[in-house]
Amino acid sequence: MFMTPLIFHAIDFSAREVGSGLAVSALIGTVVRLLSGALLDRGIRCSWPVRGTTLLAIAADLILLQANSYNSYLLGQLLLGCAAGLYWPAIELAVPLSCGNLPSSRGYALVRSADALGIGIGTLIGTVAASLGVLRTVYSVEAVCMGAVLVLISLVPLQDGPPYRNLSANSPDPLGQRPRPMTRLPWLLPLLPVLLISVVATGILALQQSALPLDLVRGGLVRPALSESHSSALIALQLTLLVSLQWPVGRWLAERSVAFGLGLSLAGFSLGCSLIALSSLFENGTILVLAALLPMAFAQAAFLPTATEAVIEETPPEHRGLAMALFSQCFAISAIVAPLAGGALLDLQNNGLLLWLIVGGACLAVLPALSQLKPRYSVNGAIASKNSETHRLQPINPRPANSREAKN
């Protein structure tokens, strides 16, 4: 995704054509995410959407590898959007199911660390390919990686099926009583604060990829414009910080409440946005941009695993597939709205001062929503007891080792 604008700009695609393809990908992804979540709640195994993702992604890569027309480009982006829509709800739901005795919060921290490492390696491969003049080969690399995932998941399938379905009705539950199935929308209400916070946070992540590079190369009110190479170097530095911070920050926050982790994330985003806004007012403002990279990377490292864990804690297990789809929609909606709104504000003001002040203020505005967050459900679907609110929920092995243990 990061390399797509560069690849097709090089063959004389207009910015409008490139942007419309990315928008189509995001839009179709929003629809497929809901479909994937609904299928997961109906009992489809987590491995199947991921298998579908690999096949769709390979087809898209083969098309984009040789696409020279807008129609071919659009078809490739359409398939990539479908692949992403299938993938995210399934993989997010599979994490707590695969953790065993490891707390799901640590599982999410580990997965986010792998995500950050993959993004870093992909960026490095793209940079090398660009320097060699063969940037489009990144699609070949991605196709090979997707093939490897397909083979791996066929040999070692994901842990499937919500754990609560495998619990005996008579088994003791140290966290609380068994939840009653919730078939109507009230289950969604406790999730709304998480979604609200996620929309703000993912909006900032989208602006970091779209508005921030543009703000840097345009310059601020006083801050001079940076070259494209220097702007790219700053983005690469932020990715390096994210890769370095993701695991230690995620592991540290795994022992704390999701409200604490999300609050810390919002504070980091607000501080980083404020520093970027202030950089517009100084001739040496690039120093403030550099200073902003650390709290922004810390905030992202805190948000990604904590928000996903919050979805688990706030949602009954029979609706977690759809809940993960809704959470994933925050990323998709932000990928569409944030670049458009950010670009329009940059064009209107000719600098990013107002944009970053608004975004930083939005982080502070949603802080009261944190008071509504509390651990309502464990990973296995039990309703959390009151005294568990001060501790992170621990996983329970849903399957007894043998029938004798089940009888006991």
CA distance 392 to 131: 47
Categorize the per-residue pLDDT at 106 as very low, low, confident or very high, splitting at 50, 70 and 90: confident
pLDDT of residue 158: 83
Bridge partners of residue 7, in order along the sequence = none
For residue 65, the model assigns a pLDDT of 92
User: Per the domain annotation, does 406 fall within a domain?
Assistant: no
pLDDT digits (tens, 9 = 90+) for 377-403: 766 555 555 444 444 444 434 434 444
Structural domain includes residue 370: yes
Mean pLDDT of the chain: 82
Range of the domain at 267: 4-158+180-386
How confident is the model at residue 193, as a pLDDT? 94
Please give the angle made by the CA atoms of 209, 51 and 32, to the nearest 5 degrees.
55
Of 37, 25, 15, whose CA–CA distance to 322 is shortest?
Answer: 37
Q: Say yes or no to pLDDT of 404 above 50.
A: no
CATH number at residue 370: 1.20.1250.20
pLDDT of residue 264: 97
| Residue 11 pLDDT level (bands cut at 50, 70, 90) | confident
Can you say how many angstroms the Cα of residue 61 is from the centroid of all Cα atoms in its chain? 22
**% the chain with pLDDT above 90:** 37
Q: Among 4-18, 72-86, 340-354, whose mean pLDDT is lowest? A: 4-18
Gyration radius of the chain's alpha carbons = 22
In a domain, 140, yes or no: yes
- 169 in a structural domain: no
Is 171 domain-assigned? no
> Quick check: is 167 in a domain?
no
Q: What's the pLDDT tens digit per position in 198-241? A: 999 999 998 887 788 878 888 889 999 887 667 777 877 888 89
402 domain residue, yes or no = no
**pLDDT at 307 (0 to 100):** 93
For residues 67 and 73, the answer to whether their CB atoms sit within 8 Å is yes
55 part of a folded domain: yes
Per residue in 143-188, pLDDT (tens digit) is 999 999 999 999 988 876 544 344 333 333 434 444 444 445 688 8
Q: What is the tally of structural domains in the chain?
A: 1
Scanning 254-370, the segments in alpha helix (DSSP H) are 258-279, 286-314, 320-349, 353-365
Distance CA 227, CA 224 (A): 10
